[in-house]
Structure 1
Amino acid sequence: MRLPSLLACLLVQGAVMAQPPAPSRLAPVRLGRMEVWALQDGRISLEASLLKDIAPADARRMLGGKDAASTPVNAFLVRMPGKTILVDAGMGSVPGEDSGHLEAQLAAAGVAPSEVDLILITHFHFDHVGGLVKPDGTRAFPKATLLVPRSEHRFWFQDPSRLPERLRGRTAILQAKFSPYETAGAFKTFEDGEELAPGLRAVVAHGHTGGHTVYAFASEGRELWCVGDLIHFGAVQFERPEVGVSFDVEGGAAVQIRRELFRRAAQSKTVLAGAHLPALVRIDAKGAGYAAVDVTPTR
């Protein structure tokens, strides 16, 4: 079944995969005094034809001979001393689709929605904000403050006529997700590069959208970067970081920031948490690109 047209226009292409069994218990990755869980809210299929600046035959080979990649939609839970933080909120429950598993995933990590203190949004595509509210329109996280990049908020709301035509008309959808938090006084914006809390800062990563942001966590010399949509096709873009996707708003900028952040992450052995990667990884330089090493603990 295809997503409803209103959601399909927000970049999901192809059929979704079968629903996975409910998890029993999720084990965290421990970095310093942080605990980190990848929470898979759903799955989508991304067509190889979305890739740019790569020969179709090369893309198909790197995807194991397939014309599409079965791709997770992840949020990330980070527990630091005194704070429980959710990065992105998944796509939410879409009837007939493999989605809306965030609350079950939180339970598998041993956390109730009411325990989340902060929600950080990397950018405003539907598969990152869809789970902010319940089907009845109320807050899914009743005690959390929602923090969003001011540059991303301006990109979508300042003057919708300046948006690419395919993105116009989506502000009403976004506003419905944000309004319950605004009404509760729990919606805040921040400036590019701002330190949001001890051991947590925002990193400018514009290109995929006008205000796309990476969140850098640090504890006892260990770093975690929640990179949002810095990368979509792990099987391709680690080895070939110059390869973009057609729905990046500024493709050149997206490639440039991916190259720079990958370079820094490889040097610092930073753990990367990608919204569309199957695991938490660190990366090592390999030729002109990088090789990803899974750091997710076995269950």
Structure 2
Amino acid sequence: MRTRSLLISLLLPLAAMTQSATEPARMKPSHVAHLRLGQMQVWVLQDGRLSLEASLLKDIGPAEARRMLGGQEAAVTPVNAFLVRLSGKTVLVDTGMGKDPDEDSGHLAEQLEAAGVQPGEIDLILITHYHFDHIGGLLKTDGTRAFPHAQLCVPRSEHDFWLQEPSRLPERLRGRIPKLKALFAVYEGARALRAFEDGVELAPGLRAMAAHGHAGGHTAYAFTSEGHELWCIGDLIHFGAVQFERPEVGISYDLEGRKAVETRRSFFQRAAHSKVVLAGAHLPRLVGIEAKGAGYVAVPVLQ
């Protein structure tokens, strides 16, 4: 496997980066999908793409997984961040992978420009969890803040998980801690880092929702305006072609597999009942979901 960037080697097992035999054409990040919900404006910012092997799925047979993926051994999935304007705040949820010469990644700045927003206009950055494809765009290549005027808001449960006494972490994770400390020290040194508790209101119409299981403090964000609701759900789902219909199917990256499944079921049930728009880091578009049998069907909000 090719050598990955520092953050990739830091924050995700290298198996995640395995590419399918046919490399897809590189992105042309000149357009960003845009949606208005009440007084809220939402943009989907695709920073890059990853190929996720079907073998990563758990509690499903290989043949069934391939069938649900259209006969493919892997699914090429987007790596999204989300830009939301609400109540006078310009908010960015996650920051993608950042630039990596071996990946079709690092398009966040271009996507922001296509949305008509400069990095210096971002007021809040919300992080769902600390895997590389969610925090990779926090710093520029020179090690300075990519968003010079933003407050970086992180779940305290996720922050404390990674920055606890190293001996309490699984051995395979311990080497990541020094790099994480260095990354967040840049924002902390600028007095721009805020760690928050589960369930808090971060701004009018914006609250954090604990969505634990995939990571130590994995967190979703609910934006509300005039009866409309958008949930940025991070890695609550990776394989849309499989896990909507079969929410009990997990993925090997989940820190606590059973809890991740329980969380996904709970979020999907509530989202379907309340007609919530879901924004997933690895979903190709914004969707609503409807119950169907023991699972759900996704209905695109934007084509």
Asked whether the two chains share a fold, i.e. TM above 0.5, the reply is: yes
Query: What residue number does 2:28 align with?
Result: 21
> Is the CA contact 1:3–1:97 (under 8 Å) kept in the aligned structure 2?
no
Q: Which amino acid aligns with 1:205?
A: A
Distance 1:176 1:101 in 2: 23
1:139-150 equivalences under 5 Å are 139-150=145-156
1:124-143 equivalences under 5 Å are 124-143=130-149
Query: What residue number does 1:61 align with?
Result: 67
Q: Which amino acid aligns with 1:14?
A: T
Distance 2:231 2:299 in 1: 15
> Is the CA contact 1:92–1:100 (under 8 Å) kept in the aligned structure 2?
yes
Q: Provide Cα deviations, 1:67-104, integer angstroms capped at 9, x if missing partner.
A: 10001100000011210000000010012310100000
| Residue 253 of structure 1, CA deviation | 0.3
1:1-299 equivalences under 5 Å are 2-4=2-4, 7-8=8-9, 10-11=12-13, 12-15=16-19, 17-23=24-30, 25-296=31-302
CA RMSD of aligned residues (A): 1.4
Q: Which amino acid aligns with 1:140?
A: A
Distance 1:2 1:35 in 2: 39
Distance 1:17 1:171 in 2: 33
TM-score (normalised: structure 1):
0.96
TM-score (normalised: structure 2):
0.94
> SS where residue 285 of structure 2 aligns?
coil
| Residue 277 of structure 1, CA deviation | 0.4
> Is the CA contact 1:269–1:282 (under 8 Å) kept in the aligned structure 2?
yes
Q: Which amino acid aligns with 1:4?
A: R
Q: Which amino acid aligns with 1:284?
A: E
Mean alpha-carbon deviation: is it higher for 181-190 or for 165-174?
Answer: 165-174
| Residue 199 of structure 1, CA deviation | 0.6
Q: Provide Cα deviations, 1:186-217, integer angstroms capped at 9, x if missing partner.
A: 00100011111111111011100110000011
| Residue 144 of structure 1, CA deviation | 0.3
Aligned length: 296
Distance 2:156 2:244 in 1: 29
> SS where residue 17 of structure 2 aligns?
coil
Identity over aligned pairs, percent = 69
Q: Which amino acid aligns with 2:2?
A: R
Structure 1: where are the runs of 5+ without partners? none
